[in-house]
Structure 1
Amino acid sequence: MAGVTVEGLVIIKIIKHCRENRPQLVFGELLGLDFEDSLEVTNCFPHLSKIEEEGEDQEKATNEAAEYAHKMMRCLQEVNVDHNAVGWYSSNYMGKFFNENTIETQFNYQKRLPSSVVLVYDPVKTSQGSLALKAYRLTDRFMDLYKTQQFSKESLSKSGISFDAIYNEVPIKIHNSLLVNAFLSELEQSGTNECDLERFDLQTNPYLEKTLECLIDTLDELNAEQAKFQFWQKSVQRQALQQTKWQQNRKEGEDNTPKAIPEPSRLDSLVYTNQVDSYCQQIKQFSGNNFAKLWLVSGVSEN
């Protein structure tokens, strides 16, 4: 896919939805058109944000959400508005967005709509002075692997899947109507628009510390997954030694062959490794930008 063209109004709706429900994570449907090798997102609407009570049937809540989405698309069709689903959007905090639920949801979307994408908006990172909105798609190799639901070490080696081959980032192009462009040009010429000074903020400690805390937590989770896999390897070795002894000492006609110990899934390890890489990239980018600002301020203070 060459890229995703998103209307400015859609981005405003997503930001508004996230701010109104902060700190709760929000989700919504993306509507638009699939045009050759690109995707056009022209409208969106939020999903039902229902907090499930204890004992409530989750399948019933899922069916209600799906019925609500179909009703919304039928209503949009009646008023002659784009109603074709092209993906979904989600909010996230501190860049932690890809987990098993996100992968499963995006897999179902791409299975039903091969050109669908997920837009991820991070309000915390946006508060640092730049719009944190990205589009992602699962890779074809990972889609084929996910269909089999086999995430053993052998299957990952055969498919050639590593932590950086789970999804691809799709370029985003923001499009505004001619009237919006004319209005923005008029505001710029009149000088009445307020200047955003958030990008000049020199206080880097809160965001950087929180990112490092998330990185440490993810490393602990990755270490726990590695410990599970090492425990499985030791259990298999112990079982092999016991089986050898049984074969040497067993009597004729007896079958004491133990059952094979199932190998734990390596999907969580892939996801955690990918998340660690994402945090490292965020720290690198954020630190680089702030070094440039501090260098600029030091030069100004000397003069």
Structure 2
Amino acid sequence: MAATPSMAAALAASLPAPQTAPTPAAPTYEAIPASMSKVIDIEADIPVTSVQLDGLVVSKIIKHSREAQGSNAHGLLLGLDIDGTLEINNSFALPHHFTDDDDKSIKGVARYQASMLRSLKEVQVDDSVVGFYQAMTLGSFYTQSLVETQALHQDKLRHGGIVIVHDISQTARGNASFRAFRLTKAFLDAYKRNNFSTDSLIDHRLTFSSIVEEIPLRIRTNPLLSSFLETLSAPAPMPSVDIKPTTATSTAAIPPSFSVLNLGSGNISRNMEQIVDALDSYRTEEGNLAYLQRQIAREKVKAEGYIAKRKEENASRVAQGLAPLPEEDVNRLFKIPAEPSRLESMLLLGRIDAYSKSLEGTSSAGLVKMYAAKGSAGA
């Protein structure tokens, strides 16, 4: 059965093919200094150990996430790897696809991606794809599409690429959340083998917590943006001489925000709903796996019974001096299903864990605020 096209395939359609360093000719020029050899890293021998996100990229991702109104915001990251640091200098949004089965939509996204990269190259802007970003809510980002896209990136990009996840719910509470991840080697090996059976999970020591590994991330702002933010947060003096001196310098360009005092009780109910939905999905998935396991067990019992019966018949024929019956292919006689994949169960467990941690953080902060409010009221 042919595999249906996925969004991951669309994103990978215009990615550059993995480059292999050609065999260099005999050097007829001065050798590269040792101090510059690590920075240049022609053969991509230095692994990426940190990610640097430009302030412009942060603002573009936040803007796109707000306009998309949900976790549909996703796009490509552009930058360069220097001395083990992946510097992300630019990004652009990708149009949202409605269904993975819509072939026209997938081809449209691929054409748009190729056109954007070609346009950036024409204006001499960095057009090297180093990963993608994905918006999420309540800390949960474990999805099949994210895993497929990141697996393709790690297979085709120079240093494997990373995924930046942006938590919309945290940003709405005034805490911009950006985290960088990549798939672990053990998970990527199991994914390439397309084997997520019980034995494979045990051999690779895979759990939902070992699907991805987090990479340290820092945000860099250029001096111009830092100066602009400084002017916004500094007191703005009033030009009028009629205003009292005490109020002339007390007005700030950015008004004070009291959002941190919000208990966030509205997010708790939504968080609980997400946990219940994830638990229901996990219970359904486990029920399907149990049904398939019982079906496999029944077919194996039939096959073992057939083999035992054939051995008894051959022993009886040999005792009578007759030739034994030929052995037949049991897999052809009995259609024993392959062991089902447990990838979806792992992703659902990761989702439940993320929702639970988000609920823990929201409720603990809310309790502290409630006790502080109670103490202030008593005073």
TM-score relative to the length of structure 1: 0.90
Q: Which residue of 2 aligns with 1:110?
A: 154
179-188 or 232-241, which moves further after superposition? Answer: 232-241
Q: 1:169 aligns with which of 200, 209, 214?
A: 214
- Judging changes above 3 Å, is the alpha-carbon distance between structure 1 residues 249 and 144 closer, same or farther for their aligned structure 2 residues? closer
Q: 1:287 aligns with which of 340, 355, 363?
A: 363
Q: Which residue of 2 aligns with 1:96?
A: 140
| CA–CA separation in structure 2 for the residues paired with 1:184 and 1:244 | 74
Q: Which residue of 1 aligns with 2:81?
A: 34
112-121 or 34-43, which moves further after superposition? Answer: 112-121
Q: Which residue of 1 aligns with 2:292?
A: 232
Q: Which secondary structure does the structure 2 equivalent of 1:31 belong to?
A: strand
| CA–CA separation in structure 2 for the residues paired with 1:57 and 1:233 | 29
Alignment of 1:151-190 (within 5 A): 151-190=196-235
| CA–CA separation in structure 1 for the residues paired with 2:290 and 2:95 | 42
Q: Which secondary structure does the structure 2 equivalent of 1:151 belong to?
A: coil
**1:50 Cα deviation (Å)?**
4.9
State percent identity of aligned pairs.
30
Q: Which residue of 1 aligns with 2:128?
A: 84
> Which digits, 9 at most, give the CA deviation of each residue in 1:229-276, with x for residues without a partner?
222332233334333443455556385752322211110111111111
Alignment of 1:4-153 (within 5 A): 4-23=51-70, 25-51=72-98, 58-113=102-157, 114-153=159-198
**1:199 Cα deviation (Å)?**
1.6
The 8 Å contact of residues 197 and 339 in structure 2, kept in 1 or not, is answered as yes
Q: Which residue of 1 aligns with 2:350?
A: 274
Give the letter aligned to residue 133 of structure 1.
F
Give the letter aligned to residue 208 of structure 1.
I
> Which digits, 9 at most, give the CA deviation of each residue in 1:106-129, with x for residues without a partner?
111111123411112232332123
Structure 1 unmatched ranges of 5 or more: none
Are residues 1:212 and 2:290 paired? no
The 8 Å contact of residues 39 and 115 in structure 1, kept in 2 or not, is answered as no
Are residues 1:298 and 2:359 paired? no
| CA–CA separation in structure 2 for the residues paired with 1:178 and 1:245 | 77
> Which digits, 9 at most, give the CA deviation of each residue in 1:37-95, with x for residues without a partner?
1111111111133546xxx9734432332232222122222222221111111222333
| CA–CA separation in structure 2 for the residues paired with 1:24 and 1:168 | 21
| CA–CA separation in structure 1 for the residues paired with 2:335 and 2:53 | 54
Give the letter aligned to residue 124 of structure 2.
N
The 8 Å contact of residues 130 and 199 in structure 1, kept in 2 or not, is answered as no
- Judging changes above 3 Å, is the alpha-carbon distance between structure 1 residues 279 and 32 closer, same or farther for their aligned structure 2 residues? same
- Judging changes above 3 Å, is the alpha-carbon distance between structure 1 residues 63 and 244 closer, same or farther for their aligned structure 2 residues? closer
Q: Which secondary structure does the structure 2 equivalent of 1:29 belong to?
A: strand
> Which digits, 9 at most, give the CA deviation of each residue in 1:208-246, with x for residues without a partner?
111111111111111122222222332233334333443
Give the letter aligned to residue 117 of structure 1.
I
116-125 or 40-49, which moves further after superposition? Answer: 116-125
The 8 Å contact of residues 138 and 358 in structure 2, kept in 1 or not, is answered as no
- Judging changes above 3 Å, is the alpha-carbon distance between structure 1 residues 58 and 291 closer, same or farther for their aligned structure 2 residues? same
The 8 Å contact of residues 34 and 115 in structure 1, kept in 2 or not, is answered as no
- Judging changes above 3 Å, is the alpha-carbon distance between structure 1 residues 148 and 248 closer, same or farther for their aligned structure 2 residues? closer
> Which digits, 9 at most, give the CA deviation of each residue in 1:110-152, with x for residues without a partner?
1112341111223233212311222211111111111111111
TM-score relative to the length of structure 2: 0.73
Give the letter aligned to residue 173 of structure 2.
Q
Structure 1 outlier segments of 4+, above 6 Å: none
Cα RMSD (Å) of the superposition?
A: 2.2
Structure 2 unmatched ranges of 5 or more: 1-47, 236-251, 315-324
Q: 1:195 aligns with which of 256, 259, 278?
A: 256
